Amino acid sequence: MKKYAIGIIKQERFSYLLVKQRANSGFSLIELQIANLLGLLLGLMLFTTFSWLLHQYKRVRASNEIQLNALLANEVLHKQLSMAGFIGCPSIKDITIKSQQVNFKPSLANSILGFSTGSPAARAYSLPKAKLNSDIIVCWFRATKSRRESTYFSHTGLMLLSTCRWAELMPYEPKRAWPQKVDVAPFHLYAFYLRACKSSSSSCYGLFRKPLIPLHAPAQEIVSGIHAMKISYGMKSPGGELQFKPAASVNNWARVSVVKVELLFKSSEPVLTQPQRYWFHGRWHVAADRFLYRSTLSYVYLRQR
């Protein structure tokens, strides 16, 4: 009986110790607070890292977008401005305009012409939605490839018929038979200028190319995201030095041999966290709107000069 009582006491003591051990096996309040603090710190670190990576991604994407837009804009401008005055083998003096329907501006002697928005020339060429205080450049040239299909001339209002002895500038006439030895090609007259983008953003501007023949032809967007464009024209001085002047200071457009094009690109969304300094048109500028700005400078040498 005594051994049995001692066994019961030991069993009860073991059960008490087991229950006490189970009661002391959980986390204390201090341990829970430390765990919560570590979790908050880890979450804050992950959120900060994610925000930094997202910001860097947006900045790199904006920089790449500006670089692609710059390549496209400079390629189009260089290709078509360098063609200014190209008419093939005949001379400019050999071109005759026999039809009164051809209202050609500028004159044949000036294959390139520049002015700014708000000027009488800008109003004469009917350039809607052009950006204020922005430069405009107009050039004319004939297409390098010649065809006789009527569909090839459907987008233009002028055509150039030429041989190496004579040339005639005339309106497009469909279903007309041309002699086999006559070269027939479209005659382009384009205006390059900045205007509001087709997107809904009011601060977005793009480079547009508008055919001026016919005058009511719609403008074509080349690239968006261009905030400013400055064009200077290079002419040789009497001493042989190349001098660049704005369009308002050019008196003889036939002397222009080089065109300097300065473009300022702007990102489509704010990606910076602090003000940015950038160089454009001969001086430094400071932008505090968090948008990314990049400027490009290129020189276009005109043909047949």
pTM: 0.79
pLDDT value of residue 153: 56
CB atoms within 10 A of CB 147: 12
pLDDT number for residue 13: 57
Tell me the pLDDT band of 201, cut-offs 50, 70 and 90.
low
Place of tokens 């002697």: 109
- Has residue 31 got a pLDDT over 90? no
- Cα–Cα dist 213/190, whole Å: 8
Least-confidence region, from 121-125, 174-178, 208-212, 213-217: 174-178
- Across the range 13-35, mean pLDDT stands at 64
| Alpha carbon 52 to chain centroid, angstroms | 27
Give the pLDDT mean for 55-71: 91
| More confident position, 31 or 1 | 31
Residue 200 has pLDDT above 60, yes or no: no
Q: Which residues of 253-290 are buried (b: 16+ CB within 10 A; e: fewer)?
A: beebebbbbbbbbbbbeebbeeeeeeebeeeeeeeeee
Q: What is the per-residue pLDDT for 42? A: 85
Mean predicted confidence (pLDDT) in 88-116: 77
Q: How confident is the model at residue 223 (pLDDT cuts 50, 70, 90)?
A: very high
Indicate if the pLDDT at residue 21 is higher than 60.
no
